[in-house]
């Protein structure tokens, strides 16, 4: 049991470290192409990455697994449509630091909702550790954030309540199929959502801009949206989702030394 928990923690350290680099890598791409275009292109790279894994592992049949399909789709829509949509909407109305702080409430919603829905329990030691991690992240990020809740903040609070449910369904799907099929479906759903948003709200990038942003988009799509999410899905096989969310709250701190 202890060994399984350590494996989950190691996966989560890898996931949080890679995910924390997202703002650094994305910022390089944003200098050449619009934000949503970057997100859509990154999602397309991620979908291709997982399609290659499905081919190499001969796991395309996993997409037809009835036991996992419903949970995979719910997870994909929850993250790829509802969560991303609310975050992009909310962060357009508030400072970036406020967005980071409010999204840390995913830990609170994970503990609350998953305790009710999935009867997930944490030991007192785990709850104390989660509180320390989140508090530390808030102390670092909060000085630049807003001191009141407006409409944008409420949208982000609603967004923070979505991942626990989506992650629960992802965890259930993983019991039946490999991680590649789950994340391939999610990437495809995210790609459709992000392409629609990009075409609706942003201008098309120039060919020179696309070439300049290409290395950063590839890193984003393969390492950050690909490998880091593989680590995340594998982590929640071994540790509670609430604990994984608490460990992931340290991700925003990774890019601060880099900046």
What pLDDT, in 10s, does the model give residues 21-52? 877 788 888 889 988 898 899 999 999 999 99
pTM of the model: 0.81
Q: Is the pLDDT confidence value at 83 over 90?
A: no
Q: Which of 228, 244, 248, 239 is nearest to 4 (CA)?
A: 239
Report yes or no: 190 and 76 within 8 Å, Cβ to Cβ. Answer: yes
The runs of H, that is alpha helices, within 148-250 are 151-160, 162-174, 179-201, 207-219, 228-238, 241-248
Phi-psi region of 33 (alpha: psi -120 to 50; beta: other; left: phi over 0): beta
Question: What's the rounded Cα separation, in Å, for the pair 39 and 24?
Answer: 14
- What's the pLDDT at 219? 93
If one compares 26 and 101, the residue with the highest pLDDT of the two is 26
DSSP structure class, residue 206? P
Question: What's the rounded Cα separation, in Å, for the pair 246 and 183?
Answer: 21
Residue 240: pLDDT band by 50, 70, 90 thresholds?
Answer: confident
Give the mean pLDDT of 48-60. 95
When the pLDDT of each residue in the chain is averaged and rounded to a whole number, the result is: 82
Sign of the CA dihedral running 66, 234, 185, 104: positive
- What's the pLDDT at 139? 62
Q: Is the pLDDT confidence value at 157 over 90?
A: no
**CA distances for 83 relative to 62, 76, 212, angstroms:** 25, 10, 29
Q: Which of 6, 89, 83, 25 is nearest to 226 (CA)?
A: 25
Sign of the CA dihedral running 184, 251, 170, 54: positive
Q: Is the pLDDT confidence value at 126 over 70?
A: no
Residue 146: pLDDT band by 50, 70, 90 thresholds?
Answer: very low
> 63-70 — which CB contacts under 8 Å span 24+ positions?
63/181, 63/184, 63/185, 65/176, 65/177, 65/181, 67/176, 68/172, 68/173, 68/174, 68/175, 68/176, 68/177, 68/181, 68/182, 70/169
If one compares 39 and 60, the residue with the highest pLDDT of the two is 60
What pLDDT, in 10s, does the model give residues 199-239? 888 888 999 999 999 999 999 999 988 999 999 999 988 88
What pLDDT, in 10s, does the model give residues 109-125? 777 777 766 566 666 66
Strand, helix or coil at 27? helix
Q: Which of 103, 234, 107 is nearest to 178 (CA)?
A: 234
């Amino acid at each position: 049991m202890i060994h399984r928990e350590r494996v989950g923690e190691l996966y989560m350290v890898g996931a949080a470290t890679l995910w924390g680099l997202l703002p650094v890598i994305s910022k390089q791409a944003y200098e050449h192409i619009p934000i949503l275009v970057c997100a859509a292109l990154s999602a397309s790279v991620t979908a291709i990455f997982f399609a290659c894994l499905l081919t190499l592992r001969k796991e395309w049949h996993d997409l037809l697994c009835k036991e996992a399909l419903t949970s995979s789709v719910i997870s994909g829509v929850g993250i790829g449509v509802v969560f991303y949509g609310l975050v992009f909407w909310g962060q357009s109305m508030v400072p970036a630091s406020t967005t980071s702080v409010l999204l840390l409430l995913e830990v609170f919603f994970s503990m609350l909702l998953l305790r009710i829905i999935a009867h997930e329990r944490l030991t007192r030691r785990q709850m104390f550790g989660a509180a320390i991690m989140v508090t530390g992240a808030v102390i670092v990020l909060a000085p630049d954030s807003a001191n009141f809740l407006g409409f944008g903040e409420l949208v982000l609070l609603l967004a923070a309540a979505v991942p626990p449910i989506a992650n629960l369904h992802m965890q259930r799907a993983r019991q039946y199929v490999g991680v590649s099929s789950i994340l391939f479906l999610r990437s495809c759903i995210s790609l459709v959502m992000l392409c629609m948003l990009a075409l609706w709200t942003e201008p098309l990038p120039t060919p020179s801009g696309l070439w300049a942003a290409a290395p950063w988009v590839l890193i984003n799509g393969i390492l950050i949206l690909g490998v880091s999410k593989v680590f995340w899905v594998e982590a929640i096989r071994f540790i509670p989702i609430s604990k994984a969310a608490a460990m992931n709250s340290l991700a925003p701190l990774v890019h601060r030394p880099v900046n």
